Amino acid sequence: PSDEVLFDRDGYPLISPRNQDLLLVTVPDSNWEYTRVSADGNAIHTNPYIADIAGLPGTITHGLWTSASTRALVECYAADDDPERIRMYQTNFVGMVLPRDKLRTELFHVGMKDGRMLVKGITSKVGGGPVLECTAEIEQPATAYVFTGQGSQEVGMGMELYKQSAAARDVWNRADRFMVAKYGVSLLKIVRTNPKELAVHFGSKTGEDIRRNYMSLTKRSGSDKGKSVPLFPEITLDSYSYTYRSPTGLLNSTQFTQVALITFAMAAVADMRAKSLVQKGAVFAGHSLGEYAALSSMSGMFTLEDVLAIGFYRGMLMQSSVKRDTQGRSQYGMVAVDPSRLGSGVDESVMTLAIGTICEHRGGLLEVVNYNVRGSQYVVAGTLHQLALLRLVLDAIARQGAPADGNWELLISLIVGDVLASPVDSKPVRGRATIPLPGIDVPFHSRQLLSGVDEFRALLQGMIQPENINYPVLHLRYIPNVTAVPFEVSREYFTLVHSITQSPVAASVLDSWTDAALDSDDDIARLAATLLVELLAYQFASPVQWIDAQNVLLGKLGVHRLVEVGAASILSDMIVKTLKSEAFSSKHVEILHVDRDRDAIYYTQP
């Protein structure tokens, strides 16, 4: 079958030769017990005279006993003692088995089919020939695919797979052709060499088309009554070229970072699909930008070209969302915060109380935008001044320790007052619990970006169409950043989204909701498209709820195997920390990264 991929050299043994005795079974002395249990009273199994008349060498053991005995070994060594993972088991009897025979089974992992392991087995008499052949399809453990966001990029990412895999190479080449034709930029060149400067020329007929593409990109003005203004005001009909520049290389420029990471993920998944490694029915989620890679790779709701256009526009919209000085600098930044470094008794609630108190005393953006690991890993965005205040306040908390009376509100209020009494240097420096994130001068996932929601919604509405929605793939399997609740088309879910975002579109849907809203598949697809647009439109202006997403993956959805798709093992490290928490300390999860753990994901022969 086309979805079945067989390994070279007939696969590999599931039990190494030195441990073959684990697959050794001795047949019972008598067949009477199995006869009683199975109600198979055929006398050839229990009466030696009847067996002799039938020309048999003795009372032969039931074939189903041999089948069940072999299946038990498949369950133990191929399915890790989980019988529900065995989705198909077939046998072919090729020899007779007698009581007291010693049987040895060999099990081989020979290929993959729709994410299931294809297993073949041969059970033979010790010192004799085969008696049974079997085949089985074994589901992988309940798997989640998680997709890394911005910050994981690195020069040359995905290029080794580009050389090795026709499926991955096709994705990268399509992405490169699209970026060259649409924006005059080679994505492969940016990924391979990370140039600090790249010029786009508009002189030819193709160049004129590219110039029009740039001029068509607009955003909502924050100062001119919401009027649309160009995203590239420097590009006009008189422009002969446009030059991108970045002191750290264009791979680190948001618009190209987003396109490159989406392509990396889609190429990696394309290669896994080509080898039938992706589990059907798996759950999936992505962190920030990774959400787009997740939806594109796992649900197919976007074409490659559409999701790259979304990623490029999203990056430009984010980059242009803040005012800059004549040298291109903004007054915003982001810091990683670890409240556990402040001392015993300090947790997320103390951090959020400190942020709230600072905002009460001094206006300006200061907001938790990534909830990554409970108690130890958060990202806060804000103005440089507000971030400096947060650092000083948290440092003071570390010095003073927890209040004896437990009144954190009073202590933090006093600390903030003391800090504000002196001049504050806004220069980003490391604190006791804060680390500035270098090169980031846009407050991603903060309310500062809300002005871009309407413009981004309009783009998404043109690309997310009901006919492209495969709702069963999304239903209770896709975990959005905004809600961290498995996706579902329901009145309750629209209510949840509205309560978080105050989306007027969600409000309109709720106002017109009737008992017949979900009567047809077309109605569900239409509402699913609307819901997806709102979740993604508000995503870049809403905090990433990754703590809650991990809790859902590990708890409600019962994930036992997690595959991270990204250039660096960022989400894997987060899940390792989460598993150390009291809530999940007894849970075992196989944590795999698409590059680091390639042998395990691809079942490379040991």
pLDDT tens digits along 245-267: 988 899 988 899 999 999 999 99
CB of 427 closer than 8 Å to CB of 331: no
3-state secondary structure of 135: strand
Mapped onto helix, strand or coil, the DSSP state of residue 589 is coil
pLDDT digits (tens, 9 = 90+) for 152-190: 899 999 999 999 999 999 999 999 999 999 999 999 999
| pLDDT(1) > 50 | no
Question: Average pLDDT in the 498-523 region?
Answer: 96
Give the whole-angstrom CA distance, residue 284 versus residue 274.
19
Mean pLDDT of the chain: 94
Q: Which helix (H) or strand (E) holds 131?
A: strand 130-139
pLDDT of residue 18: 78
With both helix axes pointing from N to C terminus, report the angle between 254-274 and 290-299 in degrees, rounded to the nearest 10: 30
For 319, residues 6+ apart whose C-beta sits below 8 A from its C-beta are: 253, 254, 255, 442
pLDDT at 421 over 60: yes
Going 307 to 309 to 312 to 313, the CA torsion angle's sign is negative
- Where helices occur in 320-463 by DSSP H, the ranges are 348-361, 384-400, 408-420, 453-463
User: Would you state the pLDDT for residue 16?
Assistant: 82
Which amino acid is it at 540?
F
Backbone angles phi, psi at 234, to 5 degrees: -70, -20
**For helices 166-183 and 304-319, what crossing angle results, to 10°?**
50
**pTM of the prediction?**
0.93
Cβ atoms of 264 and 270 within 8 Å: the answer is no
What number is the average pLDDT over the span 269-289? Answer: 96
CA separation for the pair 378, 364 (Å, rounded): 19
Give 226's pLDDT tier (boundaries 50, 70, 90).
low
User: Which pLDDT band, with edges at 50, 70 and 90, does 2 fall under?
Assistant: low
- Maximum alpha-carbon separation in the chain: 106
Closest CA relative to residue 489, chosen from 460, 521, 462: 521
String of b and e for 269-305 (b: at least 16 CB within 10 Å)?
bbbbbebbbbbeebbbbbbbbbbbbbbbbbbebbebb
Lowest mean pLDDT segment, chosen from 19-28, 75-84, 330-339, 428-437: 19-28
C-alpha–C-alpha distance, residues 57 and 21, integer Å? 27
Residue 506 has pLDDT above 80, yes or no: yes
Angle at 33 between CA 46 and CA 78, to 5 degrees: 115
* Residue 323, pLDDT score: 86
Q: At what angle do helices 166-183 and 205-215 cross, to 10 degrees?
A: 80
- Please report, for residues 198, 448, 563, the alpha-carbon distance to residue 205 in angstroms, rounded to integers and kept in the order given: 20, 39, 45
Strand partners of residue 219: 229
> In 10 A of CB 251, how many CB atoms?
22
Average pLDDT over residues 344-362: 94
Q: Identify the pLDDT of residue 223.
A: 60
Helices (H) and strands (E) in the chain, counts: 21, 20
Beta carbons within 8 Å of 185's beta carbon, 6+ residues apart: 179, 198, 200, 244, 256
Residue 318 has pLDDT above 90, yes or no: no
Please report, as a single letter, which amino acid is at residue 409: E
